[in-house]
Amino acid sequence: MKKLQKYKCAFCGHIYDPQIGDEKSGIPPGTPFENLPDNWRCPGCGAQKEYFNPVN
């Protein structure tokens, strides 16, 4: 199984981990960052998706 890419918020440092998803926003585990809705916001600070960067 392909490992899903994690993404980090440039403002607050929140890590979106696709293995976990975002329960508060109704995003189930296994959802790749690319498949998040366009209106999804960082649960830590409310930043838009465009402010997240891939984590190496």
pLDDT in tens, 10-55: 999 999 999 999 999 999 999 999 999 999 999 999 999 999 999 9
Residue 33: the pLDDT is 98
Nearest 10 degrees: Cα torsion 34, 53, 15, 17: 30
Question: In the structure, what pLDDT confidence band is assigned to residue 3 with cuts at 50, 70 and 90?
Answer: confident
Length of the chain: 56
Nearest 10 degrees: Cα torsion 34, 38, 40, 45: 100
Question: In the structure, what pLDDT confidence band is assigned to residue 56 with cuts at 50, 70 and 90?
Answer: confident
The number of C-alpha atoms within 13 Å of 9 and in the hemisphere containing its C-beta is 16
Q: Domain locations in the chain?
A: 1-29
